[in-house]
A and B are shown apart, each in its own frame.
Chain A
Amino acid sequence: GENVEQHPSTLSVQEGDSAVIKCTYSDSASNYFPWYKQELGKGPQLIIDIRSNVGEKKDQRIAVTLNKTAKHFSLHITETQPEDSAVYFCAASIQGQNFVFGPGTRLSVLP
């Protein structure tokens, strides 16, 4: 079955710097890759996603890149702010069916 790895497990950056979180997946049939932000005590919130027919997608300060050949995808956050501090999860899905999640990255943005 699908396996998703995520690195790093923790990440600290200075306010205004960029943050990058990387994920790899094992099943080449996976074709949908969402990213979630989870604040303490709340449910994960979808922040951006990418489908396998696209190599890059951007939404304001957040971007996601996908390399299907290497089977990895990354989340990029620019101009980080304290409110970006949270746990971020990547996931992979085949045809919108079962979603397999990475273990999460705890991002801390230091003022």
Chain B
Amino acid sequence: DGGITQSPKYLFRKEGQNVTLSCEQNLNHDAMYWYRQDPGQGLRLIYYSQIVNDFQKGDIAEGYSVSREKKESFPLTVTSAQKNPTAFYLCASSTGLAGGAQYFGPGTRLTVL
């Protein structure tokens, strides 16, 4: 099956700890994205990557970091510097070409205790 996988589905973290969220795609897409969604809210862009070994900050990058060492993988680290990390995190990918659709993974719900 082709698609985007995110793990884990639920994640609990103590304050002051860094945590890494996994995102993998087998769609052969060049572009990958991380969004944050708070209850009843829309999608806010954290980071995006158009190509391997390159990524750019989105609208709310503070307190987050990413890497793009492989085309299939785009992990997101939520650092202790993120003031309010409890949220639903969504990974997406697209071809990056004109008219290319963006597809989402199932999401990871992060709760800071």
Partner pick for A43 among B31, B45, B95, B107, CB 8 A cutoff = B107
Partner pick for B96 among A34, A96, A103, CB 8 A cutoff = A96
| B102 nearest in chain A by CB position | A99
Q: Does any Cβ of A come within 8 Å of B113's Cβ?
A: no
Residues of A within 8 A of B106 (CB): 42-43
Residues of A within 8 A of B99 (CB): 31-32, 51, 96
| A44 and B104 contact, CB distance less than 8 A | yes
Interface size class of B (residues with CB under 8 A): 20 to 34
A91 to B102, CA, bound (A): 10
Interface size class of A (residues with CB under 8 A): 20 to 34
Per the 8 Å Cβ criterion, residues 38-94 of B in contact with A are: 41-43, 45, 48, 50, 90, 94
Which of B48, B96, B99 has the largest count of A CB atoms less than 10 A from its CB? B99
A96 to B94, CA, bound (A): 8
Partner pick for B98 among A31, A34, A104, CB 8 A cutoff = A31
Residues of A within 8 A of B95 (CB): 96
Return B95 CB to nearest CB of chain A, in Å. 6
| B6 nearest in chain A by CB position | A43
| A46 and B41 contact, CB distance less than 8 A | no
Residues of B within 8 A of A101 (CB): 42-43
A52 to B30, CA, bound (A): 23
Q: Does any Cβ of B come within 8 Å of A25's Cβ?
A: no
Per the 8 Å Cβ criterion, residues 9-56 of A in contact with B are: 31-32, 34, 36, 41-46, 49, 51
| A46 and B107 contact, CB distance less than 8 A | no
